[in-house]
Amino acid sequence: MSPSPLRQFISQIESFGELSRIAVPVNPVLEIAAITARVCKQPDGGAALLFEQPAGSSFQVATNLFGSPQRVCRALGVTNLGELTVRLGRLLDLIPEIAVPTLDRQIAALPEFSRFAPHAALQPDSELIPMNPPDLTRFPFLQSWTGDGAAGGQGRYITLPQVFTVDPDTAAQNCGIYRVQLRCEREAAIQWKAGSGAAKHSELYRQAGKAMPVAIVLGGAPSTLFSAMFPLPGDLDELTFAGFLRTAPLATVPCQDVPLQVPAGAEVVIEGYVEPDDTATEGPFGNHTGFYSPAAPAALLRVTAISHRPDAVIPATVVGPPPMEDCWMALAWERLLLAFLQRMVPSVTDIHFPPEWVFHQSAIISLENLQPGMVRNISSRFWALPWFASARVLVFVTGDAPPAGLACAAWRTINLTDFTTDIFHDTPTGRIAIDATGCRLSRPEVRISTETAALVTRRWKEYMHS
For helices 325-344 and 82-92, give the axis angle rounded to 10 degrees: 30
Q: Say if 78 falls within a structural domain.
A: yes
Whether 300 and 355 map to the same domain: the answer is no
Output the pLDDT for position 427: 85
Q: Is residue 289's pLDDT more than 90? A: no
Say whether both 270 and 402 belong to one domain.
no
Q: The domain containing residue 155 runs over which residues?
A: 5-316
Do 114 and 247 have their domain in common? yes
- Statement: residue 415 has pLDDT above 70: yes
Whether 243 and 109 map to the same domain: the answer is: yes
Q: Model confidence at 440, in pLDDT bands (50, 70, 90)?
A: confident
Cβ(64)–Cβ(36) below 8 Å = yes
Give domain status of residue 440, yes or no.
no
Is 279 in the same domain as 395? no
The confidence score (pLDDT) of residue 417 equals 85
Decide: 7 and 309 in contact? Cβ < 8 Å: no
**Residues 239, 118 share a domain:** yes
- Encode pLDDT of 245-254 as tens digits: 999 999 999 9
183 and 278: one domain? Answer: yes
pLDDT bracket for residue 404 (50, 70, 90): low
- Kindly tell me if the per-residue pLDDT of 267 is higher than 80: yes
pLDDT of residue 57 exceeding 90, the answer is yes
Task: Answer yes or no: do 419 and 308 share one domain.
Answer: no
Q: Per the domain annotation, does 182 fall within a domain?
A: yes
The answer for 154, left when phi > 0, alpha when psi is -120 to 50, beta otherwise, is: beta
Q: Reply yes or no on whether the pLDDT at 165 is more than 80.
A: yes
pLDDT digits (tens, 9 = 90+) for 292-310: 999 999 999 999 999 999 9
Looking at the domain assignment, is residue 252 inside a domain?
yes
Please give, one letter per residue, the 3-state secondary structure of the chain.
CCCCHHHHHHHHHHHCCCEEEECCCECCECHHHHHHHHHHCCCCCCCEEEECCECCCCCEEEECCCCCHHHHHHHHCCCCCHHHHHHHHHHHCCCCCCCHHHHHHHHHCCHHHHCCCCEECCCCCCCCEECCCCCHHHCCCEECCCCCCCCCCCCCEECCCEEEEECCCCCCEEEECCEEEEEECCEEEEECCCCCHHHHHHHHHHHHCCCEEEEEEEECCHHHHHHHHCCCCCCCCHHHHHHHHHCCCCEEEECCCCCCEEECCEEEEEEEEECCCCEEEECCEECCCCCEECCEEEEEEEEEEEEECCCCEEEECCCCCCCCHHHHHHHHHHHHHHHHHHHHCCCEEEEECCCCCHHHCCEEEEECCCCCCHHHHHHHHHHCCHHHCCCCEEEEEECCCCCCCHHHHHHHHHHHCCCCCCEEEECCCCEEEEECCCCCCCCCCCCCCHHHHHHHHHHHHHHHCC
Q: How many domains does the chain divide into?
A: 2
Average pLDDT, integer, range 139-165:
95
Q: How confident is the model at residue 401 (pLDDT cuts 50, 70, 90)?
A: low
pLDDT at 402: 60
What is the domain-level CATH number for residue 412? 3.40.1670.10
Same domain, 27 and 140: yes
pLDDT at 403: 60
For residue 399, what pLDDT is reported? Answer: 77
Residues in the chain, total: 466
338 within a domain of the structure (yes/no): no
- Is residue 112 one of the residues assigned to a domain? yes
Q: Which of 123, 179, 107 is nearest to 340 (CA)?
A: 107
pLDDT given for residue 405 in this prediction: 72
Whether residues 307 and 360 fall in one domain:
no
Residues 203-227, mean pLDDT to the nearest whole number: 97
**339 inside domain:** no
pLDDT at 173 over 70: yes
Confidence grade of residue 409 (pLDDT, cut at 50, 70, 90): confident
Least confident of 269-283, 292-306, 399-413: 399-413
Residues 271 and 349 in one domain: no
Q: Supply the pLDDT for residue 180.
A: 98
* pLDDT at residue 382, as a whole number: 93
Instruction: Summarize pLDDT for 341-386 with one digit per residue, the tens.
Output: 999 999 999 999 988 887 778 899 999 988 878 899 999 999 999 9
Looking at residues 385-399, what average pLDDT do you find?
90
Residue 290: pLDDT over 90: no
Asked if residue 443 is part of any domain, the answer here is: no
pLDDT at position 358 is 72
Mean pLDDT of all residues in the chain? 93
How confident is the model at residue 361, as a pLDDT? 83
| Residue range 395-406: mean pLDDT, rounded | 75
Percent of the chain at pLDDT exceeding 90:
78
Q: In which band, very low, low, confident or very high, does the pLDDT at 271 lie, cut at 50, 70 and 90? A: very high
Residue 68 pLDDT greater than 90, yes or no: yes
Q: State what percent of residues in the chain have pLDDT above 70.
A: 98
Which CATH number characterizes residue 152's domain? 2.30.110.10
Tell me the mean pLDDT in the region 431-456.
Answer: 82
305 and 241 in a common domain? yes
